[in-house]
A = this chain, B = another copy of it.
Amino acid sequence: MDTVAWNKSELTVGELSKRSGVAVSALHFYERQGLITSRRTSGNQRRYRRATLRRVALIRIAQRVGIPLAEINRALSCLPDGRTPNRKDWEELSSQWQADLDARIRRLQQLRDDFTDCIGCGCLSLRDCRLANMHDELGELGPGPRRLIEDGDGGCCGDC
């Protein structure tokens, strides 16, 4: 009833959408971006391997971690797409993503610590508040001597 037997192991885009919780339009989009692939039926409709469900799961996980699709694509491209990811694949991917996640968490924690420091100060002095030392976004690694952005306001703030 189809070019190749509809063997129940393939999913239509709607099924994939329902099962993955990802909108059909997003699946189309992922396919355009090369994140997933499909076979076409004689009537030009998409049929996805079951493995694609896992691939979509991986994509959404990576997105939750905060990884942009372009990078996810790079990461997934080492799984030659036909293959169901095996333990080794998953360990590689996940350790990479976990490192990313850890970095993100550390960054936020640093920010939180700076906040805690700074609330004590209360005046948001730009002279020595780490939070306010915005250019530090550049010199990401290691604290070192802070750059100062205010050079002589004459007084810390309205209240101090």
Rounded to whole Å, the gap between the CB of A108 and the closest CB of chain B is: 5
Q: A90 contacts B122, CB within 8 Å?
A: yes
**Other-chain contact of A84, B50, B86, B95, B158 (Cβ < 8 Å):** B158
How far, in angstroms, from A87 to B104 measured CA to CA in the complex? 30
A131 touches B (CB below 8 Å): yes
Interface of chain A, main secondary structure: helix
What chain B residues lie within 8 Å of A50 (beta carbons)? 153
Q: Assess whether A132 is interfacial by the CB under 8 Å rule.
A: yes
Contact, CB under 8 Å: B20 / A123: no
Binds B, one of A29-37, A39-47, A56-64, A68-76: A56-64
A147 CA to B91 CA in the complex, in Å? 24
A65 nearest CB neighbor, chain B only: B111
10 new A-B pairs (CB below 8 Å) besides A57-B124, A84-B159, A90-B122?
Answer: A21-B137, A54-B124, A54-B132, A57-B149, A84-B157, A86-B157, A86-B159, A91-B119, A98-B112, A98-B115
